[in-house]
Amino acid sequence: MSYFIDRRPNARNKSAVNRQRFLQRYRSHIKRAVEESVNRRSITDIERGEKVSIPARDITEPSFQHGQGGRRTIVSPGNKEFAEGDRIRRPGGSGSGGSGEGQASNQGEGVDEFAFTLSREEFLDFVFDGLELPHLERKQLKSMEETRPVRAGISREGVPARINIVRSMREAQARRIGMRAPLKRALREAQAALENEERKDPVLRNPARIETLKEEIERLEKRIAAIPFLDTFDLRYNHLSHQPMPSNQAVMFCVMDVSGSMTQAHKDIGKRFFLLLYLFLERNYERVELVFVRHHTVAKEVDEEEFFYSRETGGTIVSSALSLVDELIDARYSPQLWNLYVAQASDGDNWDDDSSTCMALLQESLMPKLQYFTYVEITPHAHQALWTAYETIRAGHPDRFAMQQIVQAEDIYPVFRKLFSQRTTT
């Protein structure tokens, strides 16, 4: 007796729980591997899942086993040339005979690393583990531009599609009971009176009164029958009210210096930084828009391709970019509607007089609108005027403004972690 069952439609991922348990248990190992790989990988790869290896010896499940040594007899197939009594030199070291006999040698097949693949989600979880976005607040809108229909009780008006049947029937029943009650009472009284009258001696009866009572009874019965089962004013509708939705969107301004002093290597580092920030924002907001602003002495809004790859030369005026960002915010991204982030990368050069302009611009105009401003300076050299100016701003907005120096590509991830590490401890 046999039967076939098609299990294919059944749930997959029966092992999901076990998988998560494993990842949880070796969290620190995996995190280390992920950190290494973030630094190693090219930037476009970061979005994919990642192959991770952790040392196999850390995750073995121990059991009692035979060790090396003693006397063993191993039977193997495929003898070609040996005769009884032949002596063979031990292959490498004492008795590492890879005969596959016993568990010890099976497991010791030189697998030092336990490799597996993390999904993209799992990978990013590890990348951004322990980081938080400062001032992540859902902006409440005053204008009703983005709303969401929410059930808000019951109303007497509405469209037929939203009739609440239970409530309508309940209303109808209440009305029927309410309207019938006085009529029924009157009817009962009339009937009692009629009966009373009819029980009297025929001589004493008042035929006129009997007539009136009969008419009355008939009239009341008609009225009772005329009470409608369901009336228009019984109808109740589900009411939907339009609630303003908290804004779940962010815009990220990538600001980069493309003056002559910025080499391609600088830009690459900048790009990695922007990408990390973008991925991070993307996990916190439903929608993230990117605006690329590059500048030398003049700032310009460009597309991604141009932002990273076009070549420019010239001096550097940082304030040009900041004022452009300010204009763009005013024109397109109202702080009421958007969570605003600015990430700036530069090698620290600036026109001497400009740094104070930048400071004023930031202090007065930009900072109040922004959620967060991050500045990374990609330079091995000493800081210049811009850094000093920004330090003043940081002092004024310690939790909305962050700046770090990056010397080489390996620093990006640690710096990124420093910028966004959870502040609960401090």
Partner 1 sequence: MTRRTPIATGSDWNFDVLERYERAIAALADEYRLDTYPNQIEIITSEQMMDAYSSVGMPIGYHHWSFGKQFLSVEQAYRRGQMGLAYELVINSDPCIAYLMEENSLMMQVLVIAHACYGHNSFFKGNYLFKAWTDASAIVDYLDFARKYIDKCEERHGVEAVEQLLDACHALQNYGVDRYKRPSPISAEAESQRQAEREAYLQTQINTLWSTIPIAGGQMPILVAHDDENDPLGLHRHGRYPSEPQENLLYFLEKNAPLLEPWQREVVRIVRKLAQYFYPQRQTQVMNEGWATFWHYTLMNRMYEDGLIDEGVMIEFLQSHTAVVSQPGFDSPYFNGINPYALGFAMFSDIRRVCEAPTGEDREWFPDIAGSDWLETLHFAMQNFKDESFIQQFLSPKVIRDLKLFSLVDDDRDDSLQVEAIHDDRGYRRIREALSVQYALSAREPNIQVWEADIRGDRSLTLRHVQDRRRPLAQTLFPVMRHLHQLWGFPIRLESLDGGEVVRRYEWPIPDPARDSA
| Contact footprint for partner 1 (CB under 8 A) | 1-8, 10, 12-15, 17-25, 51, 59-80, 82-90, 94-95, 97-104, 106, 114-117
| Token duo for residue 5 | 């069952």
Structure tokens belonging to residue 155: 């109303």
Q: Where are the alpha helices (DSSP H) in 257-384?
A: 264-284, 304-309, 318-331, 354-361
Element (H, E) at 250: strand 249-257
Closer residue to partner 1 in complex, CB, 24/424: 24
CB of 83 to partner 1, least distance (A): 6
Angle at 250 between CA 245 and CA 251, to 5 degrees: 140
Which residue, 77 or 153, has its beta carbon nearer to partner 1?
77
Q: Which is nearer to partner 1, 61 or 305 (CB)?
A: 61
Residue 36 CB, shortest distance to partner 1, in Å, is 18
Distance in Å, CB of 59 to partner 1, minimum: 6
Cβ distance 242 to 147 under 8 Å? yes
Q: What is the largest CA-CA distance in the chain?
A: 146
Element (H, E) at 406: strand 401-406
Provide the minimum distance between the beta carbon of 124 and partner 1 in the complex, in angstroms, as a whole number. Answer: 18
Select 87 or 199, whichever has its Cβ closest to partner 1.
Answer: 87
Cβ-count burial 392-401 (b if 16+ within 10 Å, e if not): ebeeebeebb
CB of 42 to partner 1, least distance (A): 21
| Smallest gap from residue 251 Cβ to partner 1 (A) | 38
> In a 10 Å sphere around its CB, with 0-12 CB exposed, 13-18 middle and 19+ buried, how is residue 335 labelled?
middle
Least CB distance to partner 1 at residue 390 (A): 45
Strand ranges (DSSP E) for 172-311? 237-244, 249-257, 287-295, 299-302
Looking at the Cβ atoms of 66 and 135, the one nearer to partner 1 is 66
Q: Would you give the DSSP letter of residue 62?
A: P
85 or 202: CB nearest partner 1: 85
Of 277, 291, 265, 251, nearest in space to 402 by CA: 277
For residues 329 and 212, what is the distance between their CA atoms, to the nearest angstrom? 85
Q: With respect to partner 1, which residue has the nearer C-beta, 68 or 263?
A: 68
Task: Read off the DSSP letter of residue 225.
Answer: H
